[in-house]
């Protein structure tokens, strides 16, 4: 029987990424702003928060209960299939071919039902997982944002992946880069227009 697995992850925010190197803040190269002040950078371990926080542990307990409930009917059906197979094996020699075929078809139907139940249970478990972790993710992000602002931080990233989950306005260079790209675009267009005007007419 397929075993229903609980995937402990923070998918919506990618707060868990296994086998990624931990970011060592002490070894980061010093990054300075225009005012020559080094950026204030912190990291958090999403996996640790999920595993060790009170709410994270409560979520895991809830998911274990959901899993146990979902597995109940599946285990009973699996046991029923095993009993039917054992019974059929003991009586196969005295059954007519027609009866044997009927009993085999019954077992096949039960196996298909079992497979459907396993898949449905996994989907139900995943829905519970995403719902619980989605709410927890939002709480974490709200806390990170408030904490970063209160402590005048510039960047907060995940230790597992290095992904930036908070950044202050002063480190956002989006508009500056966009201006450079637009200026380069305009410059290229002007050169193309000049080239077209000065090009000799095609005879």
DSSP-assigned states of every residue in 130-172: HHHHHHHHHHHHHHHHHHHHHTT-SEEEETTT--EEEE-GGG-
Residue 194 lies in a domain: no
Give the chain's domain count.
Answer: 1
Residue 169 lies in a domain: yes
pLDDT tens sequence across 172-181: 899 999 999 9
The three-class DSSP label of residue 35 is: coil
pLDDT of 143 higher than 60? yes
pLDDT of 78 higher than 60? yes
> For the residues 150-156, what does the mean pLDDT come to?
95
Best mean pLDDT range from 48-52, 117-121, 182-186: 182-186
34, two tokens:
């225009």
Residue 167 lies in a domain: yes
pLDDT tens sequence across 3-40: 444 343 334 334 444 344 343 444 444 545 455 578 89
Which structural domain range is residue 31 located in?
A: 25-173
Report if pTM > 0.85: no
176, two tokens:
């500056």
Residue 178 lies in a domain: no
pLDDT tens sequence across 103-140: 999 999 999 999 999 999 999 999 999 999 999 999 99
Residue 135 lies in a domain: yes
Residue 42 lies in a domain: yes
């Amino acid at each position: 029987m397929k075993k229903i697995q609980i995937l402990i992850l923070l998918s919506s925010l990618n707060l868990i990424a296994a086998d990624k190197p931990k970011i060592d803040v002490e070894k980061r190269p010093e990054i300075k702003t225009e005012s020559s002040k080094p950026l204030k950078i912190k990291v958090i371990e999403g996996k640790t928060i999920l595993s060790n926080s009170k709410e994270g542990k409560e979520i895991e307990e809830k998911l274990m209960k959901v899993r146990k409930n979902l597995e109940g009917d599946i285990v009973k059906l699996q046991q029923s299939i095993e009993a039917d197979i054992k019974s059929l094996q003991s009586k196969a020699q005295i059954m007519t071919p027609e009866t044997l075929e009927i009993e085999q078809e019954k077992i096949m139907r039960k196996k298909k039902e079992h497979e459907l139940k396993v898949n449905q249970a996994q989907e139900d478990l995943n829905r519970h997982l995403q719902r619980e972790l989605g709410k927890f993710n939002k709480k974490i992000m709200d806390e990170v944002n408030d904490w970063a602002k209160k402590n005048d931080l510039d960047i907060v990233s995940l230790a597992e992946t290095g992904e930036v989950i908070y950044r202050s306005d002063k480190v956002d260079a989006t508009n500056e880069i966009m201006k450079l790209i637009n200026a380069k675009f305009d410059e290229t267009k002007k050169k193309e227009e000049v080239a077209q005007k000065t090009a000799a007419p095609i005879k």
